[in-house]
Amino acid sequence: MAYVCIGISISLSPWFSWYSNALSDLGHAVHSSAAPIFNFGLLLAGFLIAVFTATSFWKHAKYTSPFLLLTAFALQLVAVFDEIYGHLHGTVSVDFFVLLVLSCLVYAAEKRSILGAASFVIGLGVWILYGAGFIQTGIAVPEIISVAAATSWVIFSSLKIYYKLNLATK
């Protein structure tokens, strides 16, 4: 859901540039006409991740679940406290990305997951490279890369849970 709303928001925002913007620029309630779509997408995605985490995922990865639940809540806070809130938005955004990377690390350790470990390395690595100036784009690039990396193991886990439940019911 978040990716769909981000894509729609980008398509409705000809001013958006991967070379100079943050994804959150799309959610600025005063400067972006796509803000309702963008912020709704983040809010809904955070809610759906929280519901998934509190139900099915909890049984699959009990140590990762609290981290993923906090990550989902932080994603919702990014939507609620958009860029109009200035420093508060910056704080909840940093919290979201830190929790996201931590969730990858905990998942990798708990499930001995190569995909989780790769997501952690990619997520942390892209932020280190960006911070060191090796990636000279807008902050939207490390944002989308780190989120996509983490999304991979969450989707893989959901498919694994789904197929395990389907096999159990047959």
Please count the structural domains in the chain. Answer: 1
State the pLDDT at residue 164. Answer: 85
Range of the domain at 76: 2-169
Q: Is 131 exposed, middle or buried (0-12, 13-18, 19+ CB in 10 A)?
A: exposed
Structure tokens at 111: 């499930």
Q: Is 76 in contact with 42 (CB distance < 8 Å)?
A: yes
Per residue in 128-163, pLDDT (tens digit) is 999 999 999 999 999 999 999 999 999 999 999 998
Comparing C-alpha atoms, which of 135, 100, 134 is closest to residue 120? 100
pLDDT < 70 positions in the chain: 169-170
Instruction: Give 109-122 pLDDT, tens digit per residue.
Output: 999 999 999 999 99
Q: Would you state the structure tokens that stand for residue 105, as one six-digit string?
A: 């690390």
Tokens 């894509």, located at residue: 7
Total length of the chain: 170
Cβ atoms of residues 54 and 70 within 8 Å: no
4 vs 18: CA distance, rounded Å: 17
DSSP 52-67: HIIIIIHHH-TTTHHH
One-letter amino acid identity for 90? G
